[in-house]
Chains A and B, each alone.
Chain A
């Protein structure tokens, strides 16, 4: 590991020795000290790695890893923050802003860091061995970081001069750890990572369609009624309705539009022709005389 990463446990810090990409057929495992011995926590690690439930595959694009550690790790979930940091360190071959990382915290699906139990005890056990660890690693304590969930109460400022930094999410954890490789993945999660924004994105056009449909339905009622009056030839009633509608703002637009539509339905000037012959009578009596035989027939 380019930067030593330690999982804080109640039995003392456990160092992540290495992370190896395994064949995709393999389920991810946590092994003890390079031996062919998968720890019981391996099943939880597989769930934490493999997408869609896991987060590591989303961040790294690979879904099968072997993590070797130098001590026992319990089957809880407080190893997850250190695991993410270890994966980030393994992938970040350039950033070496810190010299060692110690972490405890649960990481949820949205990459938020959740509180865990026994942080004070873990820090106390760390304090027991930290001077030796610092001496062994030959690092400057101020260049190391202890990361814990932000909601942890009564946090000290430092342990053996190593700053204790509360973090709320993975983005913040990577920032304080001086890591950059996973930043893009954290800031721009794939759609599967951010269901809430995606739902909001779908909600807007959905609401717009519903609103448009409601408006059309509301407008359609009046228009349908006016069309019925027009079809029945009830011109006076139609005119009265349109006049009433013109008193309102929205309905005035509606009535105006309907009038425009009616105007388009009006026959053209040359669409009606009158055909016949012009007959002129010399006297009014001639008319009567000429019509009678027709009327009598």
Chain B
């Protein structure tokens, strides 16, 4: 990542080295832990794509998932944690998640029941717009979705209802990151 300075890189390398040393001295199950550097880079850089192996290892590492969630909650443009049961109201057609930075809605298309509008509106239309929507679903899987360009603090995408992002957004247990 371009904006990570040399000291930060050194610190991250040290953390990784420590993790590797621990891994060598620990039972084999602990050796699957993801390097913190990777988590940090992923959390800090919205354009960074997880490799398939990274994704598989992350899915199997609950602790790394929690670490990543905490990192992303701090670095994301907007973080929307799990919704409480009353707020989720899964029976309604329109899904709405809101923070002080942004509002996300899912509005079904009246033209086609199998399609839905994902609308993201920023509270500050002049703010630097996020480029990626990331969700951590209830199983700990992280899903990335690239957003189009915002216009006047708003972006609208038409998606199929069975899109994994749509499914995850409908789930109150999902955590949402705009970054």
- Known A-B contacts A29-B158, A36-B158, A36-B159; the reply to A66 vs B119 at CB < 8 A is no
Tell me if B160 counts as interface (CB < 8 A to partner A). Answer: yes
Please state if A31 and B110 are interface contacts (CB–CB under 8 Å): no
Q: How far is the CA of A20 from the CA of B110 in the complex (A)?
A: 7
Min CB–CB distance B36 → chain A (angstroms): 38
Which residues from chain A contact B75 at a C-beta distance below 8 Å? Answer: none
Of A25, A27, A34, A38, the contact of B112 (CB 8 Å cutoff): A34
The count of residues in chain A whose C-beta lies closer than 8 Å to any C-beta of chain B is: 17
Binary interface encoding of chain A residues 5-22 relative to chain B, with 1 for a CB under 8 A from any of its CBs, else 0: 000000000000010111
For B156, give the chain A residue with the smallest CB separation.
Answer: A27
Of A20, A25, A37, the contact of B111 (CB 8 Å cutoff): A20
Please state if B156 and A68 are interface contacts (CB–CB under 8 Å): no
Tell me if B83 counts as interface (CB < 8 A to partner A). Answer: no
Which residues from chain A contact B158 at a C-beta distance below 8 Å? Answer: 29, 31, 36-38
Tell me if B44 counts as interface (CB < 8 A to partner A). Answer: no
Tell me if A128 counts as interface (CB < 8 A to partner B). Answer: no
- Known A-B contacts A25-B119, A26-B117, A43-B151; the reply to A18 vs B156 at CB < 8 A is no
Please state if A25 and B105 are interface contacts (CB–CB under 8 Å): yes
The count of residues in chain B whose C-beta lies closer than 8 Å to any C-beta of chain A is: 18
Q: How far is the CA of A181 from the CA of B40 in the complex (A)?
A: 60
Tell me if A157 counts as interface (CB < 8 A to partner B). Answer: no
Q: How far is the CA of A37 from the CA of B148 in the complex (A)?
A: 13
Please state if A22 and B159 are interface contacts (CB–CB under 8 Å): no
Which residues from chain A contact B119 at a C-beta distance below 8 Å? Answer: 25-27
Please state if B109 and A22 are interface contacts (CB–CB under 8 Å): yes
Q: How far is the CA of A43 from the CA of B108 in the complex (A)?
A: 19
Which residues from chain A contact B156 at a C-beta distance below 8 Å? Answer: 26-27, 29, 38
Please state if A36 and B115 are interface contacts (CB–CB under 8 Å): yes
For B111, give the chain A residue with the smallest CB separation.
Answer: A20
Tell me if A23 counts as interface (CB < 8 A to partner B). Answer: yes
Which residues from chain A contact B117 at a C-beta distance below 8 Å? Answer: 22-23, 25-26
For A21, give the chain B residue with the smallest CB separation.
Answer: B110
Q: How far is the CA of A227 from the CA of B55 in the complex (A)?
A: 98
Tell me if B107 counts as interface (CB < 8 A to partner A). Answer: yes
Please state if A22 and B111 are interface contacts (CB–CB under 8 Å): yes
Which residues from chain A contact B108 at a C-beta distance below 8 Å? Answer: 23
Which residues from chain A contact B94 at a C-beta distance below 8 Å? Answer: 23, 25
Min CB–CB distance A70 → chain B (angstroms): 14
Please state if A66 and B160 are interface contacts (CB–CB under 8 Å): no
For A68, give the chain B residue with the smallest CB separation.
Answer: B111
Most A C-beta atoms less than 10 A away, residue of B111, B154, B156, B158: B111
Min CB–CB distance B148 → chain A (angstroms): 10
- Known A-B contacts A25-B119, A26-B117, A43-B151; the reply to A36 vs B160 at CB < 8 A is yes
For B159, give the chain A residue with the smallest CB separation.
Answer: A36
Most A C-beta atoms less than 10 A away, residue of B112, B151, B157, B160: B112
Most A C-beta atoms less than 10 A away, residue of B94, B107, B108, B158: B158
For B157, give the chain A residue with the smallest CB separation.
Answer: A38
Please state if B111 and A26 are interface contacts (CB–CB under 8 Å): no
Min CB–CB distance A60 → chain B (angstroms): 15
Please state if B107 and A25 are interface contacts (CB–CB under 8 Å): yes
For A28, give the chain B residue with the smallest CB separation.
Answer: B156
Residues of A19-51 at the interface with B, using a CB-CB cut-off of 8 Å, are 20-23, 25-27, 29, 31, 34, 36-38, 43
For A26, give the chain B residue with the smallest CB separation.
Answer: B117
Binary interface encoding of chain B residues 73-111 relative to chain A, with 1 for a CB under 8 A from any of its CBs, else 0: 000000000000000000000100000000001011111
For A20, give the chain B residue with the smallest CB separation.
Answer: B111
Most A C-beta atoms less than 10 A away, residue of B154, B156, B157, B159: B156
- Known A-B contacts A36-B159, A36-B160, A38-B158; the reply to A23 vs B151 at CB < 8 A is no
Min CB–CB distance A17 → chain B (angstroms): 10
For A31, give the chain B residue with the smallest CB separation.
Answer: B158
Q: For the complex of A and B, list the 8 residue pairs with the smallest distance between their C-beta atoms, beginning with the closest.
A: A20-B111, A36-B115, A36-B158, A66-B111, A23-B107, A26-B117, A36-B160, A38-B158
Identify 12 new A-B residue pairs, CB closer than 8 A, beyond the known A22-B109, A22-B111.
A20-B110, A23-B94, A23-B117, A25-B94, A27-B119, A34-B111, A36-B112, A36-B158, A36-B159, A37-B158, A43-B151, A66-B110
14 contacts between A and B (CB under 8 A): A21-B110, A22-B107, A22-B110, A22-B111, A23-B94, A23-B110, A25-B119, A26-B156, A27-B119, A27-B154, A31-B111, A36-B115, A36-B158, A43-B151
